[in-house]
Amino acid sequence: MHAMVISEPGGPDVLRWAEVPDPVPAAGEVVIEVTSAGVNRADLMQREGRYPPPPGSPPYPGLECSGRIAATGPGVTGWDAGDEVCALLAGGGYAERVAVPAGQVLPLPGKVGLGDAGALPEVVCTVYANVFQLARLAPGETLLVHGGSSGIGTMAIQLAKAAGARAVCTAGTAEKAARCLDLGADLAINYNEQDFAEVLGERSADVILDIIGARYLARNVSVLATGGRLVIIARQGGSRAELDLGMLQARQASIHATTLRARPPAEKAAVVAAVRENVWPLIGAGQVAPVIDRILPMTDAAEAHRIMAGSTHFGKIVLRA
């Protein structure tokens, strides 16, 4: 088969569509014939050599895909060859075929076809695991999501609104901020023109889904409400910062930092099962939908990475076989 090989750490041009060994399903795994694969910012970091895949996972980029089951390994129940599915991957989605533990496979939710469903598993599982399972966003509470225009942000806004919460976000341009409002955000702050902490004021957010890290830490803590939960899922603004524990204590607040990819398959399977039960019906009803900026051929992954690095997209970039 073919897969997108990272020939050496570097820029988009190190990606090569090359012949590689076919995946063989181990016990408990299925092999998926890939139809579409979502592009995630982590794929760019992996390509640059800054985010190695967990041991035992395919070396090719791609944290989510859709496709048809081509083969099942020993002990797999509930999935058969030919089933149309999508899956949360530890890697390997930029390929013709990928092996994945059966617990990380989802049926297609109604209303989203095989060609688009590769945009769903990573963002839905990340938002659900962090905003709902960990931070327990409740109806009537306020979620602040940084990067409302990202694949993650566009899903977080929709899921927060579907859960009866208030969704506020940051975005880098007026146009992106306007599109976040169209998607349902109650407030979208252009971070290049305004300081989100000044706009929101102290103690205004119950949950924050943060992708900036160090540069926003002090401001994030200042806007946390009493009992607030700050969940950091990326460090685009650095790793080291000073934390005023007094401010955290005064707010009875907590800070978490997580990654989905590093979790063992059993933990990912638990997230996937909860997503199937709680989010899939919302997608099936059309209340929540993937926001797809554009679809490119799988072999144009380098171009997809250039677009994502330039941040001109809104929502997901999808590669199609």
Give the interface with ligand NAP as residue ranges (CB under 6 A).
Answer: 40-42, 122, 126, 146-147, 149-153, 170-172, 176, 191, 211-212, 233-234, 236, 258-260, 308, 311
Cα–Cα distance for residue pair 178/256, rounded to 1 Å: 30
Parallel, antiparallel or unpaired: strands 84-88 and 105-107: antiparallel
Q: Which is nearer to ligand NAP, 136 or 256 (CB)?
A: 256
**Nearest-CB residue to ligand NAP?**
172
Least distance in angstroms from the C-beta of 254 to ligand NAP: 17
Spatial contact of 289 and 283, defined as CB atoms under 8 Å apart: yes
Nearer to ligand NAP, 236 or 278 (CB): 236
Nearer to ligand NAP among residue 71 and residue 178 (C-beta)? 178
Q: Name the minimum Å distance from CB 258 to ligand NAP.
A: 6
Nearer to ligand NAP, 80 or 267 (CB): 267
Comparison of 299 and 311: residue with beta carbon closer to ligand NAP = 311
Min dist. Cβ of residue 318 to ligand NAP (A): 12
Minimal distance in Å, beta carbon 208 to ligand NAP?
11
What residue ranges in the chain does DSSP mark as E strands?
Answer: 2-6, 15-19, 29-39, 64-72, 84-88, 97-101, 105-107, 142-145, 166-171, 187-190, 205-210, 224-232, 254-257, 292-297, 316-320
The contacts of residue 269 (CB under 8 Å, 6+ apart) are: 101, 103, 104
Placement of tokens 């089933």 in the chain: 83
CA distance 298 to 95: 8
Least separation in angstroms between residue 307's CB and ligand NAP is 9
Q: How far is the CB of 69 from ligand NAP (least distance, A)?
A: 25
Nearer Cβ to ligand NAP (41/97): 41
Cβ neighbours around 84 below 10 Å, total: 15
